[in-house]
Amino acid sequence: MTWQRSTVRLDALPPGTTLETSAGSTPLLLARVGPLVFAVEPVCPHVGGILAEGTLSGRRLECPVHGAVFDVGTGAVLIDPFGVDPPQGGAAPLGCYPTRTVDGWVEVDVPDAPPHP
């Protein structure tokens, strides 16, 4: 894992909002909950809903396609789109990445790029 600067300054991400961005070559969705910033995969693992179009309420992020709900802090599935108690069901957890703020910029600890052949 390597810390990479995202394209987002902390002051451009008000509490209670999300923003699709990237850090290095990794696409991300940043979610700000109070003073905390979380980074998760930007696409729902169920059927590919764009999570930036979803609804953030506290740490709960709802996919706009089938209503799966995820915890942006852990990536855990809170509500499965088929009503099955997690972790079984139609949705896998979201990938999450550690974040920090450096000089006003949001940085994310993303996977290292694969080695070139």
Structure tokens at 55: 């609804």
Q: Read off the pLDDT of residues 23-68 as tens digits, 9 standing for 90 and up.
A: 989 999 999 999 999 999 999 988 889 999 999 999 999 999 988 9
Structure tokens at 32: 């700000």
Categorise residue 74: left if φ over 0, alpha if ψ from -120 to 50, beta otherwise.
alpha
Instruction: Give the whole-angstrom CA distance, residue 56 versus residue 70.
Output: 10
Q: For the chain, which domains are there?
A: 2-110 (2.102.10.10)
- Global pTM reads 0.90
Instruction: Give the whole-angstrom CA distance, residue 97 versus residue 93.
Output: 13
- Confidence band of 84 (pLDDT split at 50, 70, 90): confident
How many Cβ atoms are within 10 Å of 73's Cβ, its own excluded? 15
* Residue type, position 4, single letter: Q
